Amino acid sequence: MSGGAARSRPLRRMIGLRLGIGLLTLFLISVLVFLAVALLPGDIAQQILGQSATPETVAAFRRELGLDQPLPQRYLGWILGILQGDFGNSLANGRPVADLLAARLGNTLFLAGYAAAIAVPLSVLLGLLAALWRGSWFDRGVNVVSLSAISFPEFFIAYILMFWLSIRLGWFPSMADPGAAPSLAEMLGRAFLPAVTLVLVVTAHMMRMTRAAVVNVLGAPYVAMARLKGASRWRIVTRHALPNALAPIINVIALNIAWLITGVVIVEVVFVYPGLGQLMVDSVTNRDMPVVQACALIFAAVYILLNITADVLAIATNPRLLHPR
C-alpha cells in the first residue's frame, strides 16, 4: 500500500464516521420536529376551516390531510416523501412546499454568503493585527468593540442600524425585499443592512479565535528561530504562525458560516427579507405545518453538514491528526 493511501485512510474513516453521526442526528431531529408540530394544541383542520365548519367537514378535511392516521404512520409517510423530494403541499395556498423552499432558499444563501464575504476576511485580518500588536491599544480596542457587538442580540443591532443608516441618514432602505427580478446591485444594496447585522454578530468569534490561535503559535521554537534570522513581524505572523494555526481558525469560520445560514431568522424578519427564515415565521403564524417542518429540517441539515465540514477541514489541515499513534 502506498504512503499516500495509508495517510488518507484515517481521513476517509473519520469522514465516514462523521457522516454516519450526522445522518443519525438529522433523523433524531426529524422525529423531534414532527412530534413538536403534531403535539401542538388545537386542531389544525378546525383552525384552517374556521369555527363555522361542520364536524363532518372537519372530519373529511382531516382525512384529506392524513391527520386521522396513527402518528408513526404519518411520520413514515412524511419522511419517505422527503427522501423522494416531495415535501407535501402548503396548507395556506396549496402550492408544493418544494417550490416555496426553492424560491426562498436562494435568498437566504445569498444573504449568508454576502455576510460571510465581509466577515471572514475582516475577522482574519483583525485577528492577525491584534496578534501582531497584542497588548497595544489596537488590540484592546478591537476586543472591546467585538465583545460589545456580540453582547447585543441581533434584533437590537438590526434596529440600531436601521434607525441610523436608514431612517436618520437615508443611506439604505429599511426593508430588504428586492422585489421581482432585481439586479445584483439592487440585491447588494437592499441586503446591506441585514448583512452588516450578521457581520457584527459573527466577527467577534472568528477574530478572537484567529488572535488566540496565532498568539499560541507565536511561542513555538521555529517562530523564535525566524525572529533570530531577522524576519519581520508581519512575515512571521503570515508565513510562519498563520499556516500552523489554520485548524482552529477554519473550524470556527465553518461553524459561524453554519450559524449565518441557520441563524438568519430574526434578521430576515426585522428587515422583511424574503428568505427561508421569513417563510418559516410566516408559516408558524398561519399554522402551515408542512412548510414549518420542511424549513426546520433544511436548517438542521445545513447546520449538521457545515459542522461535519468544519471537523473535516480542521483535521485535514492538521497532518498530525491523520497519522495513527
Name the CATH superfamily, with its identifier, for domain 102-318: MetI-like (1.10.3720.10)
Q: Which of 309, 318, 322 is nearest to 5 (CA)?
A: 322
**CA–CA dist 158, 160 (Å, integer):** 5
Residues 6+ apart with CB under 8 A from 296: 29, 33, 280
Q: Which of 108, 106, 105 is nearest to 87 (CA)?
A: 105
Contact 193, 114 (CB under 8 A): no
3-class secondary structure per residue, the chain? CCHHHHHHHHHHHHHHHHHHHHHHHHHHHHHHHHHHHHCCCCCHHHHHHCCCCCHHHHHHHHHHHCCCCCHHHHHHHHHHHHHCCCCCECCCCCCEHHHHHHHHHHHHHHHHHHHHHHHHHHHHHHHHHHHHCCCCHHHHHHHHHHHHHHHCCHHHHHHHHHHHHHHHCCCCCCCCCCCCCCCHHHHHHHCHHHHHHHHHHHHHHHHHHHHHHHHHHCCCHHHHHHHHCCCCHHHHHHHHHHHHCHHHHHHHHHHHHHHHHHCCHHHHHHCCCCCHHHHHHHHHHCCCHHHHHHHHHHHHHHHHHHHHHHHHHHHHCCHHHHCCC
Which pLDDT belongs to residue 4? 55
CA end-to-end distance (rounded Å), the chain: 18
Which pLDDT belongs to residue 85? 85
Classify the C-alpha dihedral 241-244-247-250 as positive or negative. positive
Which pLDDT belongs to residue 1? 47
**CA–CA dist 67, 47 (Å, integer):** 13
Which pLDDT belongs to residue 194? 93
Tens of each residue's pLDDT in the chain, 325 residues: 455 555 567 777 878 888 899 999 999 999 998 888 877 776 677 677 767 777 788 788 778 777 778 888 889 988 998 988 888 888 877 789 999 998 898 899 999 999 999 999 999 999 988 888 888 898 899 888 888 888 888 888 999 999 899 888 888 888 887 777 677 888 888 899 999 999 998 898 899 888 888 888 887 787 788 777 777 777 887 777 888 788 788 888 888 888 888 878 889 999 989 899 899 988 888 888 889 999 999 999 988 998 888 878 777 766 565 554 5
Which pLDDT belongs to residue 309? 85
